[in-house]
Structure 1
Amino acid sequence: MTRPDRLARSVAPSVPLWVCSAAMLCLFAGSTAAFTLEFPGPATATAKPVMARASYPMPTGRWVDGDVPVQVVDGMVERAAWQVDVPRLSSLDLMQPLRAQLIAAEFVPVFECETMGCGGFDFRFATDVLPEPQMHVDLGDYRFLSAERKRAGGREVVGLMVSRSASKGFVQITRAVEDAGLALFAATNKATDGFTAGGGASVALSTSNRPALLPAEGGAKGAAVARLVAGGAMVLDGLDFGTGAADLTEGRYASLAELAEWLKANPDKTVALVGHTDTSGGLDGNIVISKRRAASVRARLIEAYGIPPKQVEAQGVGYLSPIASNLTEEGRQKNRRVEAVLTATQ
């Protein structure tokens, strides 16, 4: 591995640096030594920094054996992204000046890689990346850097992803500031409103404590599930996936709520969630995307609706089973879908 003192060498960018927008300044406003980052060109924020208490799984190595090694940093986490409006800007042109500025601010690189050295397609989709159009990642040309610096009370870490299109550069920065968490209540501040802890060891949540099901909205209630029962499969209409994106966006999906209601009423039935894509990209990559889309829907059914994991599985077939033409955007949108296939035999 490259020595840290060699990593910290000064880098002369190939294009002039531009002082970044106020959004970037806010990104580092809470750190022990706030500073201004500069982009290699005029930048426009596509996702402004939003800070929240969370956990950031910072990548510490390349994709290998089906996973990306990470260090989880608990504390305040914020993400932001920008477009850099300079044509023919390479990912190296984007990374070099930002990396040099982080090192000048006493960040020490933990892991850095370029496209195939990261793990290619698999690393990108196993890493915390904002969806399109906020952050675009060219699967043939991207770079990643994770770095950390010491601060009072814990670490401050940064995950930097850069990529490009034919006319723009794209930058995402994820920053996490480690802390010890909120102060514990004093022993005398006992909660008494229906909360009972058995000896302080564990607390059982009653049914009323669980998150409410997301309500179904629109559509003929029961029509999709009727197709599932009669024909063996149903398309989960309205799910929001963009080209190359693997995560289901937040929202209330009528078809998902309807399927969840049916699964709860029929605990002996099982379904396979099968992801499908359009024909953008190669087959192997699309099969991975489609399975991850199905896995994202499965996770939503389990987490938001309380469906037992054993009732749903996730699979993906890429673009091998289209329901519309891939020659039009409308057709491609229809092909980016997840279907529920009834797998119970009785």
Structure 2
Amino acid sequence: MTSPRRPAVALIAALLALAPTAGQAFEPAMPAPVDALESEVETHGSYDLPTGPFAAGALPTRRFEGAVDRRAYRLEAPRATLLDLKAPLRDQLVAAGFDILFECEARTCGGFDFRFATEVVPEPAMHVDLGEFLFLSAARGDEAVSLLVSRSAGAAFVQVIQVGPVQPGAEVDAAAADATAPDQTPSLPERPPAPIVDAAAGPASSAAAVRLDAGLPVALDDLVFASGAAELEPGDYPSLGALADWLAAAPARRLILVGHTDASGSLAANVALSKRRAEAVRRALINDLGVAPGQVSAEGVGPLAPRDSNQTEEGRRKNRRVEAVPAST
């Protein structure tokens, strides 16, 4: 991960000084200072570009194949609106010859369903507020770009996924460049990534509250469900107490409880099981800890948002969880 900090105006000016060339990769100039950048390049891959809102249980997509570049930017933009961030990037795409295929905001995209049906760089590199995000997809011949813009309480996040033809000799050139070219990009000391907090570890209430106040999810890793069952095992769960304390401090606060499973079994069965587990957690918060019903809702995404590999038992165990996600108020 690199963390470049460059004046946004200078970057945009440099971009506008270059005339777009057919086949030239899109290089976005961020409209605010970049605090952190995570990038992953897949030389031969594919990307299902969303071309419409999630509706009738499905997300319409168009598959593009080739070199896939996935980037997640964290921006220092405490006062910028999501439209302030998206509009300059949209203008750059149009100037580079891309046709805008689809644009939406959280509700018109399909909200929760859209977010979990499309590809998103994992936390903490990319944060998506389920009630406040913007999306755009664009194409130029056999190239495609998507933009996803959201924010937490303290930062803005922009995801750019780009796919295009593999250039001849790209793998050889990239390897040679890594071996011989010094890194000329000025960088800041990296911030240690903020992992999804285990709200049962340490001072649970304060650890969870810090995460939730920042608009980030909290994994309730102390919960115990019987194998294949949706009901919570009897016990004292500090993570639920932490959530109840956070909600009690401000009646306007809302949480979405999101159930997750590993990839074993059918998708439909796992999605149903994950939602039932989230609903069981919601009932425990309401019935046992006095949380107002309107402050918590329950959803399930099955295996669609793993945080580890499903190829190992340890990874599958980590993927079986319920997370608390702050919702916009």
TM-score, normalised to structure 1, is 0.50
- The question of whether the paired residues in 1 share the 8 Å contact of 2:26 and 2:93 is answered with no
Q: Which whole-Å deviations, capped at 9, do the CAs of 1:122-179 have from their partners, x for residues lacking one?
A: 11111101121110112222100000002xxxx0001110112233211001111257
Query: Structure 2: how far apart are the matches of 1:158 and 1:94?
Result: 16
Q: Does 2:130 match 1:139?
A: yes
Query: Structure 1: how far apart are the matches of 2:82 and 2:229?
Result: 36
- How much has 1:57 moved relative to structure 2? 1.0
2:274 to 315, 332, 337: 315
Q: Which residue of 1 aligns with 2:201?
A: none
> Structure 2 matches for 1:23-172, cutoff 5 A?
32-34=23-25, 36-150=27-141, 155-172=142-159
- The question of whether the paired residues in 2 share the 8 Å contact of 1:163 and 1:169 is answered with yes
- The question of whether the paired residues in 1 share the 8 Å contact of 2:152 and 2:216 is answered with no
Tell me the SS of whatever aligns to 1:144. strand
Instruction: Sort the Cα spacing of 1:311 and 1:146 in 2 relative to 1 into closer, same or farther, 3 A.
Output: closer
Query: Structure 1: how far apart are the matches of 2:30 and 2:113?
Result: 27
Query: Structure 2: how far apart are the matches of 1:16 and 1:94?
Result: 11
Query: Structure 2: how far apart are the matches of 1:110 and 1:146?
Result: 6
Q: Which whole-Å deviations, capped at 9, do the CAs of 1:70-127 have from their partners, x for residues lacking one?
A: 1112222221111111212111011000010011000101111011111112111111
Tell me the SS of whatever aligns to 1:19. helix
Amino acid at match of 1:114: E
Q: Which residue of 1 aligns with 2:163?
A: 176
Query: Structure 1: how far apart are the matches of 2:83 and 2:123?
Result: 21
Identical amino acids, percent of aligned pairs: 36
Query: Structure 1: how far apart are the matches of 2:39 and 2:82?
Result: 21
> Aligned-pair RMSD on alpha carbons?
4.3
Q: Which residue of 2 aligns with 1:237?
A: none
Unaligned stretches of 5+ in structure 1?
1-14, 25-29, 180-241, 247-269, 303-307, 328-335, 340-346
Query: Structure 1: how far apart are the matches of 2:86 and 2:72?
Result: 14
Instruction: Sort the Cα spacing of 1:19 and 1:68 in 2 relative to 1 into closer, same or farther, 3 A.
Output: same
Amino acid at match of 1:61: G
> Structure 2 matches for 1:204-223, cutoff 5 A?
none
Q: Which whole-Å deviations, capped at 9, do the CAs of 1:290-311 have from their partners, x for residues lacking one?
A: 1xx12xx0x1x36xxxxx9899
Tell me the SS of whatever aligns to 2:228. strand
Unaligned stretches of 5+ in structure 2?
1-6, 16-20, 167-214, 220-225, 233-238, 248-252, 292-318, 323-329
Tell me the SS of whatever aligns to 2:80. coil
Amino acid at match of 2:274: Q
Q: Which residue of 1 aligns with 2:173?
A: none
Q: Which residue of 2 aligns with 1:330?
A: none
Amino acid at match of 2:228: A
- The question of whether the paired residues in 2 share the 8 Å contact of 1:81 and 1:135 is answered with yes
Query: Structure 2: how far apart are the matches of 1:74 and 1:113?
Result: 24
Query: Structure 1: how far apart are the matches of 2:150 and 2:268?
Result: 39
> Structure 2 matches for 1:279-294, cutoff 5 A?
279=243, 282=254, 285-286=256-257, 289-290=258-259, 293-294=260-261
Tell me the SS of whatever aligns to 1:39. coil
Instruction: Sort the Cα spacing of 1:273 and 1:144 in 2 relative to 1 into closer, same or farther, 3 A.
Output: farther
Amino acid at match of 1:19: L
**Which of 1 and 2 has greater Rg?**
1
Q: Which residue of 1 aligns with 2:11?
A: 19
Q: Which whole-Å deviations, capped at 9, do the CAs of 1:253-310 have from their partners, x for residues lacking one?
A: xxxxxxxxxxxxxxxxx96365999658756x42xx31xx12xx0x1x36xxxxx989
2:228 to 272, 281, 284: 272
Tell me the SS of whatever aligns to 1:116. helix
Amino acid at match of 2:11: V
Instruction: Sort the Cα spacing of 1:125 and 1:18 in 2 relative to 1 into closer, same or farther, 3 A.
Output: farther
- How much has 1:32 moved relative to structure 2? 1.7
Tell me the SS of whatever aligns to 1:143. strand
Query: Structure 2: how far apart are the matches of 1:275 and 1:245?
Result: 20
Query: Structure 2: how far apart are the matches of 1:89 and 1:134?
Result: 19
Instruction: Sort the Cα spacing of 1:125 and 1:42 in 2 relative to 1 into closer, same or farther, 3 A.
Output: same
